[in-house]
Each structure stands twice: as C-alpha cells, then as structure tokens.
Amino acid sequence: MHGHSTAAVAPRMGGAMEIPDRLNGWVLAFGTLLLLAIALFPSVWIGGAGLGLIGWYSRRFWSAEDAIWAMLIVACVWASSRSGGLQYWKWMRFIPAVALLGHAFKKLRSGTRALRASWLSFTLLVLVITGFPGLLSKTPGSALFETVLLSTLWPCYLILCMPQNEKAWVARESMVFHVGAVVLLAAVVLRMLNPELSHLDSRWRGMFGNPNEFSHWWLLMFVVLGVRGLRQTGTKYAFWTLVTAGILALTATRGALIGIVLSGMGFVFARARTGTVKGLVFLACIAVAAVVYTDEVVGWAKDVLPEYLVREENLELGGGRLVAWEFGWAEVMKEPWWGHGGGYEEQIFKEFEAYLSLRNHQGFSHNSWLAFAINYGIPGATLLFVALFTRLKLFTSPFALLALPPIVVSLVVEGWLTAPLSASAPLFFAVSGLTGAWKASMDHPTQQKPEHES
C-alpha cells in the first residue's frame, strides 16, 4: 500500500487528459478564479455559470459522476455562507443534488439485484425511523420535509460514494483532493482581498458561514490527506499537517484540533501497521482519559496553546456546547423513545434562543447524535448511526484508524449530519466512500497497472 503510485488512466471522455495524481496547476488556477468570481461579484448568473464550469472541467479531468460530486460539494460550501449576496446558493445547491439523484437512479436501474435490495432496505429503514415520529409531530410539515431529504439523499449518496474499481477510486480521490485545495486556495486569496467577508469576529471562515464549518470541513479533507500519506510518503502528510495547523490557528476551532490530533495518531498507528482494533481501543482510551482528567488537560492547553484558541473565559463558563447538550438532553428525555419529529431540534433551539444566548450558547445542539435523538428518539438515532457507519464500512476500512476518530469527534461537537445538504455532509459521504471502498476493490493494488502503463 505504501509504495503504490496513484497514477491513473485517461477519463472516459474523448481521451483528452490524464487524471492528475499531483495537484494540477491549471485545475487549481481555474477553480480558484471561479470561486473568487462568485465571492467578489455576487450574482445568481455568475454563480450558475461558475457551477456549470466546475462541472465541465471536473467531467473533463475525472468523470461525469465525479463532476456531480464536485458541484454538490462546492454548492453546499457556498450555501453555508452568511453573505447577503450569496443566499441564492440555498436553492442552487438543489441543482447538483437533483443531478446526483438522477445519476443514482440510473445506476440503480442498471445495477444488480443485490444493489437494488440494499438501496430499498436502507431507504425503508430511514423512512420508518424518521417518518413515524413525524406522524406524531406537532409540526408534520417540517417533519415530512426532513424525512424526504434523509430518505432520498442518504441512500443515493451511498449508491454513488463508493468507487467500484481502481480507476474510479483514483479519479474520486484526485477530485476530492483538488476540490479541497481549490477551496483552501480561494479562501486564502479571499482573506487578502476581502477580510470582512472571510472573517467572523476576527476568526477566519473563508467562504463558509462560520469558522467551525470551515474547520470541520477541512477535518474531513485531512482524512483524504492521511490516505494519500499512507499510500505515498510521510513527508507530504507532514506538509499538509502543517497547513492544517495553520488553518486551525486562524479559525481557532478547538473541536477540529482534537480531531486532527487523533487522526494524526491514527496515521502513525496505521503507518506502523498496528491492528485496527488495537489502535482504535488505544485512541478511545486516550479520549476517555482526557475526559476524566479534564482539569489537567485544560491546564496544559492554557500553557501550550495561544489564548485566543483556548478561549479560557469560555471554558470557565462551561462552554456553549455544554449548555446546548444539557438543554438538548432534557428535550430528549421528554420523548426518549420516538422523539419529537424531524425539524423539532431546530425549532426548539430557536424558540429558546434568547435564554440560551444568556448562557453563552448560539446555534443548535452541536451534536449530530443528540440532534437525531431529539427528533427521532434514542433507539432511532442510534440505529441510524450504526446502519450508516456499517454501510460506509467505517468500522472495517483499512483506513479506519485515521478516518473514524476525526469523524466521530466532528459529529460529537457539530450537528451537520442532520442536514444532508450542509457544508460537510456531501464531503463526509465522498470521503467515507473512499476509505470504505478500498477494501472491496483494491486489496492488492500493486498487482494492477493503469491502462496507459500496460
């Protein structure tokens, strides 16, 4: 695995270009200019043209399926923006989402009976878990909307997120890597050209709605960088680790920092060929020890990390997330078995926004499992997580050591998984699909040669 080159074959279209293994300068320049044009000249026409061009060059370099993923990932990033001129992305993201649904159903029709049975069983599972509480909800309209989104997008994400052969896997990895680099480069340039747009209370957010979204989105990208590091050299991984440290220093996001540390440790274990179960148990023990010895960990953080990153006054007040979790858990206990129905979490946190803000909290529950438990009950939320993680092969992937810990950390401190079109959700499926698909199609990659090397 470590010495395998990711050189790839030409895409299906017209035999024009070879799929780039390293970052392609033309792709970076073109993609960055498109994102800057969208940010600096907010217009639905420029946004639509930019989205179309992203799809065009993604299809040219990779494949039609990868182009849909690239457009959806970028559109959901823009949809998180709080800039008034960019709010049209709230509805424009549905364009690539519909394209993804169409491509998934096309693949479903031409697929095997096992694929259709798997899709149907998972769809029915999501429908039952989210639909039944919706029937009992006081706001069935919003509950129905959440059920439709989850039961259509999640199963279709699963159909398309796992490449089925080495050629498709390399193309998907290259696409995700380039999209991440383009978003990062555009955010850096935007920071220089328009600091007001790219900052929130002195914290860097790029084109995202807030710094936390940026950090946790990049945390998922860091998993891809770890995968590339295992398959290539540790030097490149060290470089991207430094880049990531710089991002976290500017966004001042503590949860993502924890995820990066655990992912880095997982990378070391994987590089040393430590067993997956042993490595995960060891990382879990470290996480439990950090919780048990919270005072010591906080004291160490105060001594080592910059004050703006630690935000000591926030820790002394208990932290906004602790307030959110206590409030959210109280709502779970009101309907622990069936929940309140889809959309309730957002509704109840908005209703008590003034009260929660006095206790140093903004936003919703900041925990994906807790949000699902509020909406669908404890059994439903747990079953959703287990079923989804099992389908994505996150527990059994050879890359589980570097993928599972940061993903779990992100889901513990953020609630983005509840919204299938949030900034991080499409990237989560794309990245998880990469780590999960390796086992099925590329157990012995060094025995396969790309077509152009045959």
Q: What is the 3-state secondary structure (H, E, C) of 176-214?
A: HHHHHHHHHHHHHHHHHHCHHHHEECCEECCCCCCHHHH
- CA dist., res. 338 & res. 374, Å (int): 9
Contact residues for 89 (Cβ-Cβ < 8 A; gap 6+): 47, 75, 78, 79, 81
Contact residues for 311 (Cβ-Cβ < 8 A; gap 6+): 252, 254
Please report the pLDDT score of residue 288 as a whole number. 78
Do residues 74 and 86 lie in contact, with contact meaning Cβ atoms separated by under 8 Å?
no
DSSP for 336-363, written as a single string: TTT-S-TTHHHHHHHHTHHHHHTTT--S
Residue 433 within any structural domain of the chain: yes
Residue 196 within any structural domain of the chain: yes
Q: Which tens digit of pLDDT belongs to each residue from 264-301?
A: 888 888 888 888 888 888 888 887 776 665 556 556 65
Residue 8 within any structural domain of the chain: no
| b/e map 405-442, b = 16+ CB within 10 Å | bbbbbbbbbbbbbbbbbbbbbbbbbbbbbbbbbbeebb
CA distances from residue 27 to 75, 183, 187, 240 in whole angstroms, order as listed: 18, 12, 16, 19
CB neighbours (10 Å) of residue 391? 21
- CA dist., res. 182 & res. 34, Å (int): 10
Tokens of 260: 């990066």
Low-confidence ranges of the chain (pLDDT < 70): 1-21, 233, 290-319, 439-454
Please report the pLDDT score of residue 445 as a whole number. 39
Q: How many domains does the chain have?
A: 1
Residue 73 within any structural domain of the chain: yes
Please report the pLDDT score of residue 195 as a whole number. 87
Please report the pLDDT score of residue 218 as a whole number. 95
Q: Which tens digit of pLDDT belongs to each residue from 209-245?
A: 999 999 999 999 999 988 888 877 677 888 888 888 8
Please report the pLDDT score of residue 163 as a whole number. 92
Please report the pLDDT score of residue 300 as a whole number. 60
Determine the 3-state secondary structure of 454 from DSSP. Answer: coil
Please report the pLDDT score of residue 200 as a whole number. 87
Residue 381 within any structural domain of the chain: yes
Domain that holds residue 305: 25-441
Please report the pLDDT score of residue 293 as a whole number. 59
Determine the 3-state secondary structure of 151 from DSSP. Answer: helix
Residue 452 within any structural domain of the chain: no
DSSP 416: G
Short-list 388, 408, 371, CA closest to 220: 408
Residue 450 within any structural domain of the chain: no
Please report the pLDDT score of residue 308 as a whole number. 53
Residue 13 within any structural domain of the chain: no
